[in-house]
Structure 1
């Protein structure tokens, strides 16, 4: 399989246009008109150095790349037949052009605007660093307290590029130079692929809204994710590329993992029309010769290794891996981690791994996250809490286009403020054919949830009760778990039957199955939590499950999984050794590339440790005093939220709050008057048609105070999701200690920076290494038992 790669800025040199501009005069005319000057003159002599000016460099390289590709298409069509395309930074536009996402003129228009916007952000600088690890650079950046400086290009296993403000880059350059590191200043006009490009990104997004993009005809690997473009996501991915690091080394590693055996560089820096083959050098630095890779000019190729002579291999001293279960010998076809957990659970949802990524509010468990997990053979749930039905529908459509043949689910969040939203969500799921939902924050079985479960019940030819709709219930209390483990309550079934929403046959079948197909025991975790201790709670849940299943005689297996504190392979191993049928992760997934959290939130989360969380009142259950676990490092939200709850507990009205305290809240918490907050609350309820509720709240001073305080909880969530720089201190970020443990585990590795964390890669590493942990412990325990038996003899 072949992949085509296109270079970006940095590949330019005088004379690179030779022959191409003469061969393609129409494209040259389009380029000249767009630049307002002669591209040939800029390229031929470059007397005034304009070839290195971003606003000229980018459109010229884009054109040379495009014409190089076109010439090869005409001269040797077989060479451009490929399974993947990708490009380095600017080169990604040529990869999309080659894949049919837009035509030459549209791409040129985008590139010219991109180059102009990036040139406007001229306050930054970039340096290349050779032979120094990413973790070492980030440690030095932290020691020097550089606030804007980030790794912006992961070019190869040997070369990284760092972007930041000019003064900060100068400090870093001097520091690295003094330490003997090989560094080089780059001749660029800005801090590309860094947060300093945010203004350029926002302006470029407006242009992308005016452009009609087509989905690529072949897989295009995005710089920002090192994964293929999702369908319908060309515009958003190009916009994100401006501020995201170029994950070039990870891109090449991904191509190699997909079976690519030939990587061909096309464009300004490659033969036959170029002389540098810059990207091919990066490829050669990333792919190992011992794996059969070699670079020849502008190509990097992998030769298959010869099969060893089995006759001459002495295997008498090889160690045999110990089976995880004596009755289930390890298959030579299984991959590490695939055999952990319940085989029935994996088969139920069509999974490779008994590993689940839980939902996270407001699309933090995003479309990209769901798609990545699905393609890796793991179950994940779209985070629909706080999203309206139209937004959920758009997200589901995007997922369906990309991974319809793979398993995925969506969250169903109990809604106590507006139960109708719960029903509207269920109706959408039934229309869209969503086969599995994650039921979370439920304290009792609700009518919409019962309707979803009943609607999918039927009997097969053998009379077995089957279900098209599955429920994975996240629970942290025994009484709630019992409600999900038992059949739907009679009262709810009677109401559904009276409404004509289920048939008498479905009512009878509903009495033979539990509400949930699977139970996930949620120990102490991020967000809503009862602070349960996993090794206390989980065994009790298993015993409860065994007792209820024995009483009810269910035909299907009711699985028990574990969530909360799952942040390292050791924790995964402990869960499976304790008898979990599957594991579910949450906190560690929100600090990944695919997560819908803002970059500012991810920056905060990447630095947290196991003790950097705190409990605060839950906004949706404020009056009840329910708690959520949130980040405390770098923010003041938990302190302020607890202060508001204390005021609510001690006063019956905002008018009773001491004036000094009231001013403090208005000036530092709300940044607006209490009257203005109440106006916002009133307007929102009116827009939602909840006029009667507004009247009730207005007439009750205690409820009015609660509504005003709860505004802060919504505000703190919104500013965190949007990444509002001036509101970091008020960010409400739900997370648990598991992420702190994860950060410690990956410190010093390529996964240390969240910008290098892909959710599927993390999951695979967790499962693979968990199996290794289990095998090591099994060997150690076996040795201990043998020693005990020998002593007893």
Structure 2
């Protein structure tokens, strides 16, 4: 089995697409007409120093990823069994699966990038060497409650997001716990609660588009599960304000193939390929066999919940006094946990700790 991976923001570089633009002149012409500027000039010369600005980075990567995919299919004729993209790359996965046209995808990415670039005074940082549970403990113990987890890239490479000063001030607490802390060169706190001001605008924009069922399964960053047509608008909107579950997505694919999945990165750079290598090292094939009974019981629990309780169900959660509301269906995460997400909270809750209000 084979999965194609599409990279997101951070994989861009001056010169990307150089061997592709002349091969697809029709797509370049369409892109320039939609964007109102030359994609070749941006990617190859970057004379205005715009390539690393979110508003320009995302359309550029979307186009180069799309050209890379077309070139690969033209040269090999080999289609994947699954598609997955990291953040912005998810739009390439959906376009490659026939969910929307190249042109509509570019319009969506253009709007998304413009809105995201409007959220200012935020920052992100990579925390390397400790897992997400330790990160959550550090945030809680030091009252860093303005910071969210934005990307679960690998088990020990997590991205956090929040106000710029708080991200800067958090560094000392993580380094005290032997973590490597790397502030990222981004313009905003992506995939966090701080994207909520643009959530409705983008959701309303999505409503003007017609989407189709994927002809190749696409794994969602939001749920780490395959897309279905009824989830497209919801997932793409929630994609803005929720973390990228990359580790969970790859773990799902490894479980699906009993650790026999072949991965290929389509687009500039090798960031995702390095993530895959790390995740495969973390993944233990025998845990699938050992936990098979547990996984089956959790899946039955999830199926029972989802059949009975829709998104928006009022619930009581262990340790919380207030009545809360579910914002997703229940799902299975990489440690064979049945979990659910709650309105107003960024992390997941164990389904065993959630009780519906009858």
Distance 1:248 1:73 in 2: 25
Shift of 1:145: 1.9
Distance 1:256 1:20 in 2: 31
- Compared with structure 1, are the counterparts of its residues 757 and 287 closer, same or farther at alpha carbon in structure 2 (3 Å cutoff)? farther
1:38 is aligned to 38
Distance 2:23 2:293 in 1: 54
Q: Is the 8 A contact 2:214 2:228 kept in 1?
A: no
1:73 aligns with 2:66: no
Q: Is the 8 A contact 1:135 1:752 kept in 2?
A: no
Aligned counterpart for 2:276 among listed residues 275, 283, 286: 283
Aligned counterpart for 1:383 among listed residues 309, 318, 332: 309
2:332 is aligned to none
What secondary structure sits across from 1:162 in the alignment? strand
Aligned counterpart for 1:92 among listed residues 87, 90, 93: 90
Q: Normalised by the size of structure 1, how large is the TM-score?
A: 0.39
Alignment length, in residue pairs? 337
Q: Following TM superposition, where does structure 1 have runs of at least 4 consecutive aligned residues deviating by more than 3 angstroms?
A: 177-180, 289-292, 332-335, 352-357, 378-381, 595-598, 720-723, 749-759
Aligned counterpart for 1:336 among listed residues 269, 278, 293: 293
Q: CA RMSD for the aligned pairs?
A: 3.3
Deviations along 1:98-149, one digit per CA (max 9) or x if unpaired, are 1100010000000000000000012210001110121221122123323321
Pairing of 1:742-761 with structure 2 (within 5 A): 757=348
What secondary structure sits across from 1:12 in the alignment? coil
Distance 1:288 1:71 in 2: 31
- Compared with structure 1, are the counterparts of its residues 101 and 143 closer, same or farther at alpha carbon in structure 2 (3 Å cutoff)? same
Distance 1:55 1:284 in 2: 30
Shift of 1:381: 3.3
Distance 2:194 2:313 in 1: 19
Pairing of 1:317-356 with structure 2 (within 5 A): 335-337=292-294, 353=297
- Compared with structure 1, are the counterparts of its residues 380 and 290 closer, same or farther at alpha carbon in structure 2 (3 Å cutoff)? closer
Q: Which runs of 5+ in 1 are unaligned?
A: 270-276, 293-331, 339-351, 358-372, 385-594, 610-630, 636-716, 724-748, 764-793
- Compared with structure 1, are the counterparts of its residues 756 and 195 closer, same or farther at alpha carbon in structure 2 (3 Å cutoff)? closer
Q: Normalised by the size of structure 2, how large is the TM-score?
A: 0.84
Distance 1:721 1:291 in 2: 35
Distance 1:32 1:115 in 2: 16
What secondary structure sits across from 2:42 in the alignment? helix
1:448 is aligned to none
Aligned counterpart for 2:116 among listed residues 115, 118, 129: 118
2:169 is aligned to 171
Distance 1:178 1:288 in 2: 26
1:213 aligns with 2:139: no
Distance 2:192 2:122 in 1: 10
1:192 is aligned to 190
Distance 1:179 1:379 in 2: 38
- Mark the structure with the bigger radius of gyration: 1
Shift of 1:34: 2.7
Distance 2:298 2:144 in 1: 41
- Compared with structure 1, are the counterparts of its residues 183 and 354 closer, same or farther at alpha carbon in structure 2 (3 Å cutoff)? closer
- Compared with structure 1, are the counterparts of its residues 26 and 171 closer, same or farther at alpha carbon in structure 2 (3 Å cutoff)? same
Deviations along 1:327-381, one digit per CA (max 9) or x if unpaired, are xxxxx9994359xxxxxxxxxxxxx659865xxxxxxxxxxxxxxx34xxx6753
1:56 is aligned to 56
What secondary structure sits across from 2:230 in the alignment? coil
Shift of 1:183: 1.3
Shift of 1:290: 8.4
What secondary structure sits across from 2:263 in the alignment? strand
1:433 is aligned to none
What secondary structure sits across from 1:238 in the alignment? helix
Q: Is the 8 A contact 2:299 2:338 kept in 1?
A: no
- Compared with structure 1, are the counterparts of its residues 354 and 118 closer, same or farther at alpha carbon in structure 2 (3 Å cutoff)? closer
1:6 aligns with 2:6: yes
Distance 1:57 1:721 in 2: 36
Distance 2:340 2:142 in 1: 17
Distance 2:291 2:86 in 1: 35
Aligned counterpart for 1:145 among listed residues 143, 146, 164: 143
Q: Which runs of 5+ in 2 are unaligned?
A: 328-335, 353-358
What secondary structure sits across from 1:193 in the alignment? coil
Distance 1:250 1:722 in 2: 20
- Compared with structure 1, are the counterparts of its residues 137 and 196 closer, same or farther at alpha carbon in structure 2 (3 Å cutoff)? same
What secondary structure sits across from 1:163 in the alignment? strand
Aligned counterpart for 2:130 among listed residues 132, 151, 155: 132
- Compared with structure 1, are the counterparts of its residues 217 and 49 closer, same or farther at alpha carbon in structure 2 (3 Å cutoff)? same
Shift of 1:383: 2.7
2:355 is aligned to none
- Compared with structure 1, are the counterparts of its residues 243 and 57 closer, same or farther at alpha carbon in structure 2 (3 Å cutoff)? same
Distance 1:753 1:335 in 2: 21
2:265 is aligned to 265
- Compared with structure 1, are the counterparts of its residues 65 and 211 closer, same or farther at alpha carbon in structure 2 (3 Å cutoff)? same
Q: Is the 8 A contact 2:41 2:47 kept in 1?
A: no
Pairing of 1:286-435 with structure 2 (within 5 A): 286-288=279-281, 335-337=292-294, 353=297, 357=301, 373-374=302-303, 381-383=307-309
Higher relative contact order (CA 8 A, sep 6+): 2
Shift of 1:200: 1.5
Distance 1:96 1:57 in 2: 19
What secondary structure sits across from 2:241 in the alignment? coil
